[in-house]
Amino acid sequence: MRRALILVVIALSTVASASQQSGWLDAYRPTADRLITAAQANDFAWRRLAELTDTFGHRLSGSESLERAIDWAVATMKQDGLENVRKEPVMVPKWVRGRESLELVEPTRQSLPMLGLGNAIGTKGAPLEADVVVVRNFDELTTRSASVKGRIVLFNAAFTSYGETVAYRRSGPSRAAALGAVGMLLRSVGPTGLRTPHTGATVYEDGIPQIPAAAITAEDAERLQRLQDRGVRIRVRLSMEAHFEADSQSYNVVGELRGRERPEDIVVVGGHFDSWDVGAGASDDGGGCIATWEALRLMKQLNLRPRRTVRVVLFTNEENGLRGGNGYRDAHQAELANHVLLLESDGGVFDPAGFGFTGPDGARRTVTTIASLLRPLGADPILASGGGADIEPAGSAGKVPMMSHVVRGDYFLIHHTPADTIDRISPKQIAANVAAIAVMTHAVADLPWRLGTEK
């Protein structure tokens, strides 16, 4: 009996201690309610995303459409009343797709949907016609190495996860070329979906011949696999005009809501403003840019000025160079020590599902407590790790805590495809994501202590 009473007292003490530790959260509940209500009151964020994607379309680095969209963003942020709005210069690569096509020559003549891989070379002014050897993975490529020379290799790797399957897109061309292949085809990196090819960047390894590389649909990759399994000769004709031109001037877009007490301390939110040259870049990553930008606009509209500065950054050149993220790190090297948190939204704006977090344990406890305000949105989970391609350079250099915005949805079904349009996103979804990002960002920026200094 005595032991049971002791256990009850310990349990009650633990509950009381936890309640005291999170008692500070009560001050943020009314503000969270206001932000959530304002975000979900209308379809403003969806309409702004529609304006971006309808007016400018896709926004590949080095393109006129990207630079026009950047100028629009700067002008519109100023109209929103954001502060210190500016363009920060970044030189970006200019890869041009040009005309391209893929034709099945044997066993029958038929045009096949395809997309050249970003940063790939072309076929040097003439179609490349060759037999095809199909492999499912790198091990099978090694096993069949004797049959690769002079042929086009097709990697028919079924999609498991993006992190795992993307290896075939990035290093497949060089792995095949090292064995004498003259070209590479890739089963698109994404779930099977209505015979849609997916583009994306490839990386050529130094010292290995560069060969043309393109993605085909999952359905066509399986068709060619079946033909090979039956012993049927497969021959294709690939034509690509892809090439690089001289680097081009671009910019990161920056806007702020200056902190009322510690303006030198900065919470950064954002996404990448460039996209591939297919679709409209709505989910990748127009939606992330608009959702993070909208978080600041709502704070301004509701006259919510947190203790620290909140800065939105629309990064350039994530897709085929990462120069926007590296450029931000370099331009702000002197103030990285004042960065409190870096939050990136680059996974779509479907149903919100929480945030990934990388940082000290004490900071994790703080953001987990804040996230409890987002339970009605389904955005309360704080997952094992957070980050993003654009914030990673600054986060690593400055040892700054990082968060990634997480959603549930068919992101990789439309990722890097012509189907990446606003029609896949509902006004309700993007509004809920705006609400989640705004609440988390405001609370972190307004904490009485600096995130990461918890004991």
pLDDT for the residue 11? 32
Q: What is the pLDDT along the chain (455 residues), one digit of tens a residue?
A: 333 333 333 333 333 333 335 699 999 999 999 999 999 999 999 999 999 999 999 999 999 999 999 999 999 999 999 999 999 999 999 999 999 999 999 999 999 999 999 999 999 999 999 999 999 999 999 999 999 999 999 999 999 999 999 999 999 999 999 999 999 999 999 999 899 999 999 999 999 999 999 999 999 999 999 999 999 999 999 999 999 999 999 999 999 999 999 999 999 999 999 999 999 999 999 999 999 999 999 999 999 999 999 999 999 999 999 999 999 999 999 999 999 999 999 999 999 999 999 999 999 999 999 999 999 999 999 999 999 999 999 999 999 999 999 999 999 999 999 999 999 999 999 999 999 999 999 999 999 999 999 98
Query: Helix or strand or coil: residue 181?
Result: coil
Nearest-angstrom CA–CA distance, 208 and 177: 7
Residue 171 in contact with residue 210, Cβ under 8 Å?
no
Contacts of 69 (CB under 8 A, 6+ apart): 52, 55, 56, 59, 273
pLDDT for the residue 455? 83
Clarify whether 64 is annotated catalytic.
Answer: no
CB hemisphere CA count around 419 (13 angstroms): 14
Residue 277 in contact with residue 225, Cβ under 8 Å?
no
Q: Give which of 154, 193, 196 is closest to 175, Cα–Cα.
A: 154
Q: Give which of 254, 269, 275, 286 is closest to 317, Cα–Cα.
A: 275
DSSP code of residue 286 = I
CB hemisphere CA count around 109 (13 angstroms): 1
The radius of gyration of the chain's CA atoms, rounded to the nearest angstrom, is: 25
Query: Helix or strand or coil: residue 110?
Result: strand
Nearest-angstrom CA–CA distance, 267 and 342: 6
Contacts of 418 (CB under 8 A, 6+ apart): 196, 278, 279
pLDDT for the residue 21? 55
Q: Give which of 380, 435, 389, 396 is closest to 201, Cα–Cα.
A: 389
Contacts of 426 (CB under 8 A, 6+ apart): 46
pLDDT for the residue 20? 39
CA dihedral for 337, 383, 259, 24, sign (positive or negative): negative
Active-site hit among 67, 88, 318, 319 = 318
Nearest-angstrom CA–CA distance, 444 and 341: 8
Residue 240's H or E segment, with its range, is strand 235-240
Contacts of 84 (CB under 8 A, 6+ apart): 254, 255, 256, 258
Beta 402-408 vs 351-358: how paired, if at all? Answer: antiparallel
